Amino acid sequence: MKMEASQIEKLEKMQKRYEELHRLLSDPGVARDRNLLEKYSRESGKLEEPLSLWQRYRKLQDEMGKLKEILADDEEEKDIKKLAREEEENLKKDLEGLEQKLSKVLTPQDPYLQRNVIMEIRAGTGGDEAALFAADLYKMYNRFGGKKTWKMENMDLHATPRGGIKEVIFAIEGKDVFETLRFESGVHRVQRVPVTESSGRIHTSTVTVAVLPEPEEIEIEINPDDLKIETFHSSGAGGQHVNVTDSAVRISHIPTGVTTQCQDERSQHQNKIKAMRILRAKLLQARESEQQNEISEQRRSQIGRGDRSERTRTYNYPERRVTDHRHHVTVYDLENILNGEMDNLLKSIHEKIREKKLVSEEG
């Protein structure tokens, strides 16, 4: 495998851009602009891996050139040439490995893979039992995020008197968050005996999960004139007021009909900031959809209607089984998975997806 001319040209352009970014980051004007500083720092960070590989690749090429000179020298001693040939074989293997890595990092990927996410969990079919399982999934993702040292931040939560959750929206920040969780979107089905069921019959309930990559502020421009902003009393479980001020905020995006709200913070200003973050994420999702003018339909295509028949994943308590139906993965480790030990399940799902992609590319 050899580096193509187009790949080398791309790497040289990346090197020039990296040097330009370092000049920009030392500019006092940029240092005073938080948005620009974050933007240039993020872009610079993304260039570090390919350029580090490229630097090592060029160094090995120089070493290979020197070895070829030794091997081409008729006056060089035989023992030296023998060592040179052995070293040449080792360098060839190292160069091939670097070529593969460079080819991988230069291949266009989903632009949102390295993004943080805004996650939404809603109780679907099943009444109180669905709300209780929504709370279980919320705890599962929080425990998993804690093991990954991700930062979890509640945006909006509507609890039920029995300790369940009607709906919760929260942000997750950290390394590889969207890449890890992007296949969690869909309908999660639970099969178990509800605590409220006296006859011991197994019930089936559903919860919907949506995983939205969080956009940067400059990525989604929102005209303030397109927003309808309302304030209301924050309320806890069962409608209890947690304070007497109108700190909760509801924001409606008039052109699309998308509405978001937040009541998690005591400050109206902070609730508005969080509601705007949720709004941007939903608008980004809509923009990437082919049905930009049918946002409610687009969201249903991701999370479904919450019917029992729409299965993304099943959590079967009697069998201790978790089955991901889209990717045909089954793991008999339900207790640990719900306790945040999701690595094996997610690894199996991602491997299945890679296998399907390889088969598709070969076909």
Res 311: pLDDT: 75
Q: 44 and 14 in contact (C-beta within 8 Å)? A: no
Q: 117: helix, coil or strand?
A: strand
Q: Compute the mean pLDDT over every residue in the chain, rounded to the nearest whole number.
A: 85
pLDDT digits (tens, 9 = 90+) for 142-197: 999 999 999 999 988 999 998 999 999 999 999 889 989 989 999 999 999 987 67
**Beta-ladder partners of 156:** 169
How far is Cα 198 from Cα 201, in angstroms, rounded to an integer? 8
Domains 117-204+306-355 and 224-296 share a fold: no
pLDDT digits (tens, 9 = 90+) for 296-349: 444 455 555 444 445 789 999 999 999 999 889 999 999 999 999 999 999 999
pLDDT digits (tens, 9 = 90+) for 110-130: 677 778 999 999 999 999 999
The band of 289, judged by pLDDT with boundaries at 50, 70 and 90, is low
| Helices and strands, number each (H, E), in the chain | 10, 11
Q: pLDDT > 70: what percent of the chain?
A: 86
Whether residue 67 has pLDDT greater than 80: yes
The ranges assigned to domains in the chain are 5-106, 117-204+306-355, 224-296
Res 123: pLDDT: 96
**Beta-ladder partners of 159:** 165
Phi, psi angles (nearest 5°) of residue 260: -130, 155
How far is Cα 12 from Cα 50, in angstroms, rounded to an integer? 11
Res 141: pLDDT: 98
DSSP letters spanning 94-110: HHHHHHHHHHHHHS---
Res 217: pLDDT: 67
How far is Cα 182 from Cα 135, in angstroms, rounded to an integer? 20
Res 55: pLDDT: 94
How far is Cα 141 from Cα 125, in angstroms, rounded to an integer? 21
Residue found by looking up tokens 């200003």 in the block: 269
Phi, psi angles (nearest 5°) of residue 280: -60, -40
How far is Cα 99 from Cα 329, in angstroms, rounded to an integer? 33
CATH class, 117-204+306-355 region: alpha beta
Q: Mean pLDDT throughout 222-249? A: 71
In degrees, to the nearest 5, what angle opens at C-alpha 113 toward C-alphas 349 and 334?
Answer: 30
Out of 3.30.160.20, 3.30.70.1350, 3.30.9.10, 1.20.120.400, select the CATH number for domain 224-296. Answer: 3.30.160.20
**Structure-token pair, residue 312:** 């993304």
DSSP letters spanning 61-98: HHHHHHHHHHHH-TTS-HHHHHHHHHHHHHHHHHHHHH
On the CB side of 182, how many CA atoms lie within 13 Å of its CA? 15
Q: In angstroms, how far is CA 284 from the centroid of its own chain?
A: 14
- What stretch of H or E contains 39? helix 34-72
